[in-house]
Structure 1
């Protein structure tokens, strides 16, 4: 077929622009139009369980509300993310902000109590508030766990429910999914990803949670409280979800651990049925982040014959365009 060149018009809708990409159907424009078709198919198929994985600073990068809205609109069924995106979601829920246009003199930024993520900035004072608020939430979650365990013990032993002084010396175990659900229930910010997920019963998995400021605070809290994370339980819950799903699709934003956790969780069932990936990473070094999705077929992480597309580009540009083009 001959290429049909892109034609622009005044007041053009985003959906109309992507339609033009579809008619062109080559290079990045063609891949983006294919990605739109796949995402539309995924979120409109009632038999399809949709995974969304988040790698890179997507919450600081402006996608927080889009992700929360996808949860509220029932467009995804599972969220897999880095611990950093959860941290930055909570930072904003506690009143903190992300900033722009503060320069690139990192030593000067350090002296002013400002941290830099590319050209995104955070203030140390917001992290102080984050630390104070999240520790209060940890305490509330732990108290609830202890009270629940005591109630069960009382019921079994028919004894008065009295908390002993050594109560917090007993291990209190949480899966990461359970912990994030409990945190989400205690957030009041309607724009929060964690709150949206808790309100809509969408599970969040964060296999690298400890590699974040949230994980650091959890470790510090666990030094005085027997607050234990069971990462294996997350795999039990995630694999159960995959096996109960008739079909599974994935929207992979960025790469890293969230991408692989999504792919690997579908391995034992023969792989994903369909998926899109948006990434800036390259494939030449053999890293997972830059690997084209077709490579996943060799590992049975995507099914042979599955409909896949990799779009090379900045997630913070490509993904909003894709979602805005859906009708």
Structure 2
């Protein structure tokens, strides 16, 4: 087959653009098309449970509503993320925001009470509100439970959130579990530690594996959407190890494979560990997930809808 050249026309729909990328079929264009096609197939398969893992500043980077809607619409069955993304979801739920166009003089930013994540900014005043509000919620939770799993803690926090755009609230209402194995490495984790200095609340980090392994063994097929790498990526893949690995997976990452890090590892490498099945459908797209995932998701939803 030959490489066809991409045609762009006025008023193109997203799926038309995706299909044009598929007509080229090579490099990033081809990978984006194949990832879109695979995601549509995953969404359409009633036997497939979809795990979404989210690493990096996806909530500060504008992806909050996308993740929340995936939960509300029943597209994903499990969310695995960092404590930081949970923190930033809560920060907005408590009335805070993420900001842009504040400059790159970091010493000046510090003096102004601003923290920087690339070109995303946070305000220390918003974190002060976060600290007060999460402490109130933890006080309520600790009155009922002294020992809890990380997933159960996040689930209970969700019951106290009023913001309809919140990821955590949506997960609570739809009973979609959120796993955050690295929760201590975040501002939420710091607040949890500070809370336990004067209150009786203990997190059982191993307890989540009981529920997660049950989900894995009860699923006929498992598909993974991996945005970024790190602990969330490994947790999503390793959870299916005892069952022979995932059946399908899409990875969007900026990390490289040469250093041997898991974050940049090609998905095919997971087959050697039985974290992906032999013959599984795997697509890696190299690039910024805040650009690529909205494009791929929009195309996949159109593909799935047109395939009805």
The answer, yes or no, to whether TM exceeds 0.5 is yes
Is the counterpart of residue 240 in structure 1 residue 214 in structure 2? yes
C-alpha contact 2:147 2:204 (8 A) present in aligned 1 = yes
Q: Give 2:276's match in structure 1, choosing from 278, 285, 302.
A: 302
Task: Please list the CA deviations of residues 49-91 of structure 1 after superposition, one character each: whole Å capped at 9, or x if unmatched.
Answer: 0000001000000000000000001000000000000000000
Counterpart-to-counterpart distance in 2, 1:40 and 1:110: 44
Matches for 1:245-260 after TM superposition, within 5 Å: 245-260=219-234
Question: Secondary structure, in 3 states, of the residue corresponding to 1:261?
Answer: helix
Bigger radius of gyration: 1
1:1-327 maps to which residues of 2 (within 5 A)? 1-145=1-145, 172-325=146-299, 326-327=301-302
User: Conserved in 1, the CA contact under 8 Å of 2:54 and 2:82?
Assistant: yes
CA distance in 2, matches of 1:137, 1:39: 37
Alignment root-mean-square deviation, CA? 0.6
Gaps of 5+ in 2: 303-308
The number of equivalent residue pairs is: 301
| Secondary structure of the corresponding residue to residue 143 of structure 1 | helix
Contact kept, 8 Å, 2:142 with 2:200, in 1: the verdict is no
Q: Deviations over 1:125-166 (max 9, x none)?
A: 000000000000001111233xxxxxxxxxxxxxxxxxxxxx
- Structure 1 residue runs of 4 or more that deviate by more than 2 Å after TM superposition: none
1:24 CA displacement = 1.3
Tell me the secondary structure at the aligned position of residue 11 of structure 1.
Answer: coil
Displacement of 1:22 after TM fit? 1.2
| Pairwise CA distance, 1:223 | 0.8
Q: Deviations over 1:256-315 (max 9, x none)?
A: 000001111010000000000000000000000000100000110000100001000000
* TM-score for both structures, normalised by structure 1: 0.91
Could you tell me the TM-score, scaled by structure 2's length? 0.97
